[in-house]
């Protein structure tokens, strides 16, 4: 079970930068972060909290990736 979970999380990270606008990249990051956070949270007994934290981290990650691609940050 643990190997499957780790594999799924790694697969999600491979497609983190999907989209070509700030909104689409932020939303795809939020969705993938929520999925990964839910998986990790379910292992510790709190799916909802893990999904919420993952979504927040995903939004920030998607936004920062977008700004990096646009050359606004290094």
Sign, CA dihedral 39-44-47-48, equals negative
Query: Nearest to residue 35, comparing CAs of 66, 5, 65?
Result: 5
The pLDDT assigned to 21 comes to 85
- pLDDT tops 60 at residue 57: yes
Residue with tokens 């999907």: 18
- pLDDT tops 60 at residue 15: no
Residue with tokens 């998986």: 39
Stated pTM of the model: 0.70
Interval 61-66 mean pLDDT: 88
Interval 22-38 mean pLDDT: 84
Residue-wise pLDDT for 33-49, tens only, equals: 888 888 888 888 888 89
Cα separation, 17 vs 50, in Å, equals 21
Q: 33 near 55, Cβ under 8 Å?
A: yes
7 or 26, higher pLDDT:
26
Cα separation, 23 vs 65, in Å, equals 12
């Amino acid at each position: 079970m643990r190997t499957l979970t780790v594999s799924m999380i790694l697969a999600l990270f491979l497609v983190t930068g999907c989209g070509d606008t700030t909104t689409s990249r932020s939303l795809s990051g939020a969705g993938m972060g929520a999925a990964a956070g839910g998986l990790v949270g379910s292992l510790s007994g709190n799916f909802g909290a893990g999904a919420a934290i993952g979504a927040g981290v995903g939004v920030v990650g998607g936004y920062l990736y977008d700004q990096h691609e646009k050359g606004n940050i290094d």
